[in-house]
Amino acid sequence: MQPMQLSSEGSLESGSESDDVFFQDLPELNQDTVVNKPNYDFLEDEEFWQEVKKIASVPGWKSCSNTESYAHFGIARLVYEKIYGDLRLLPFGNQKRYVPFFEEYPEDTTPYEVYLTTELMKRLNEITRFTKQELNVPLTLTSLTLHSGEKHDRHCRHRSGTVMDIRPFPATRPMTWRDSVYDYQMNLRFTRFLLAHKDVTVVFFNDPRLHEDSVVKSIIQERQDAGNPVLFRQVAGHDNHYHIEFRLDSEVDLVTRYIKSQVDFR
């Protein structure tokens, strides 16, 4: 099997995304409404809680400074799968709108971060529509989420199926924002579009000019004022890719918060 290009893009480096946590305020959780819903029967299952404990604590070989976000994203995936079924496999090469990090499916996709929720699939289609129509470039994905299982995510935050890494634009090859081929205007347009998307909650990318752009600043302020904030940060390891997080499905988010309120993971 052809190894993917991830290592050359650096997005598998551990620890680079673990220093930030960002959870939006939600209405108070009503535990009665959660546990009484029939499709939440799994919450009564002792095995489920054992699984939660297993997936939520940071293993010794892994470096994640923010244990809460590690647990949060891991539990969110378990909950998603209980409610909606397995994460989906990225459909590679879909109408050439987005380009995965290898041309063909490997025989065994479980070791690769190529899984996502149905919601993210829809979001991906919206975003690729923009990059195709407005920028006339493909979207190049470098990481999504690993298949669930014992050996889960090398990334600390890529656990929920709602997270992705993509190359900066024009995305024709691995590049950083310092490269000559990097197109600032294109990335500016993309960043403004992305931050204005109401379901985007977190973006890490390091081009300092983007952070100084007045339109970018006003989009962030408007979302803050509207009670739907988006976090846009420079984080070590994000010169060569955008790290993008989308809002969790509201039921998944609610149940994840409920579970976290029941167990001390620290």
Enumerate residues 179-198 that contact Zn ion by CB under 5 A: none
The residue within the footprint of Zn ion, chosen from 165, 207, 239, 253 (CB under 5 A), is: 165
Q: Which is nearer to Zn ion, 40 or 242 (CB)?
A: 242
Smallest gap from residue 231 Cβ to Zn ion (A): 13
Distance between terminal CA atoms of the chain?
39
Token pair for residue 12? 């598998």
Smallest gap from residue 255 Cβ to Zn ion (A): 24
Q: Which is nearer to Zn ion, 123 or 243 (CB)?
A: 243
Torsion sign across C-alpha atoms 29, 79, 13, 141: negative
Binding piece for Zn ion, criterion CB under 5 A, among 49-57, 93-101, 213-221, 235-243: 235-243
Smallest gap from residue 17 Cβ to Zn ion (A): 5
Binding piece for Zn ion, criterion CB under 5 A, among 64-72, 86-94, 176-184, 243-251: 243-251
What are the beta bridge partners of residue 164? 244
Phi and psi at residue 46, to the nearest 5°: -60, -35
Nearest Cα to Cα of residue 154 among 54, 64, 53: 64
Please say whether the beta carbons of 115 and 89 come within 8 A. Answer: yes
Binding piece for Zn ion, criterion CB under 5 A, among 25-33, 103-111, 163-171, 194-202: 163-171
Binding piece for Zn ion, criterion CB under 5 A, among 49-57, 95-103, 158-166, 221-229: 158-166
Question: DSSP readout, 95-142?
Answer: GGTEE-SSSS--S--TTSS-EE-HHHHHHHHHHHHHIIIII---EEEE
Burial code of 35-58, b = ≥16 C-beta within 10 A, e = fewer?
eeeeebebbeeeebeebbeebbeb
Binding piece for Zn ion, criterion CB under 5 A, among 28-36, 131-139, 179-187, 240-248: 240-248
C-alpha–C-alpha distance, residues 180 and 176, integer Å: 9
The residue within the footprint of Zn ion, chosen from 243, 247, 257, 260 (CB under 5 A), is: 243
The reply to whether 238 sits near Zn ion by the rule CB under 5 A is no
Phi and psi at residue 257, to the nearest 5°: -65, -40
Q: Distance between alpha carbon 182 and the CA centroid of its chain, in Å?
A: 23
Nearest residue to Zn ion on Cβ basis = 243
Stretch 4-43: interaction string toward Zn ion, x if CB under 5 A: ----------------------------------------
Smallest gap from residue 211 Cβ to Zn ion (A): 18
Q: Which is nearer to Zn ion, 165 or 207 (CB)?
A: 165
Q: Which is nearer to Zn ion, 243 or 260 (CB)?
A: 243
Interaction site with Zn ion (CB under 5 A): 165, 243
